[in-house]
Amino acid sequence: MFFFQVYNAFGFLWATAFCSALGQMTLAGAFASYYWAWLKPDDLPWFPLLASLYRCFRYHLGSLALGSFLIATVQLALYSLLKLQRKLRRIENRCTRCLIKVCLCCLGCLENMIKYINRHAYVQMAIMGDNFFTSAKSAFSLLVRNALRVIIVDSTISFFLFFGKLIILALTVAFFYYYYNYHIPLLELTVPPFHYIWVPLVVSPFPSSSRTTAHISRLVTFCRQSVSAVTSSPPCSSAYTQWPSILCSCASSTT
Lowest-pLDDT range of 138-142, 174-178, 219-223, 244-248: 244-248
Q: What is the pLDDT of residues 122-165, one digit of tens each?
A: 988 888 888 999 989 988 888 888 778 778 877 887 788 788 87
User: Quick check: 118 and 135 in contact, CB under 8 A?
Assistant: no
Band (207; pLDDT cuts 50, 70, 90): very low
Q: How confident is the model at residue 213 (pLDDT cuts 50, 70, 90)?
A: very low
Span 200-222, mean pLDDT?
48
The yes-or-no verdict on residue 15 having pLDDT over 90 is yes
d(Cα 99, Cα 97) in Å, to the nearest integer?
5
Closest CA to 177 of 155, 154, 196: 196
pLDDT in the model for residue 40: 72
Q: Kindly report, residue by residue over 80-119, the tens digit of the pLDDT.
A: 988 888 887 777 677 888 888 899 999 999 999 999 899 8
Helix residue ranges, H only, 94-209: 94-128, 132-145, 147-180, 198-203
pLDDT for residue 85 = 83
CA distance 145 to 149: 9
- 23 pLDDT above the threshold of 60: yes
- Please tell me the predicted confidence (pLDDT) of residue 109: 93
**Whole-number Å distance between alpha carbons of 124 and 63:** 12
- Range in 56-60, 94-98, 149-153, 218-222 with the lowest mean pLDDT: 218-222
- The type of residue at 119 is R
- Whole-structure pTM value: 0.68
- Alpha-carbon distance of 14 to 66, in angstroms, equals 10
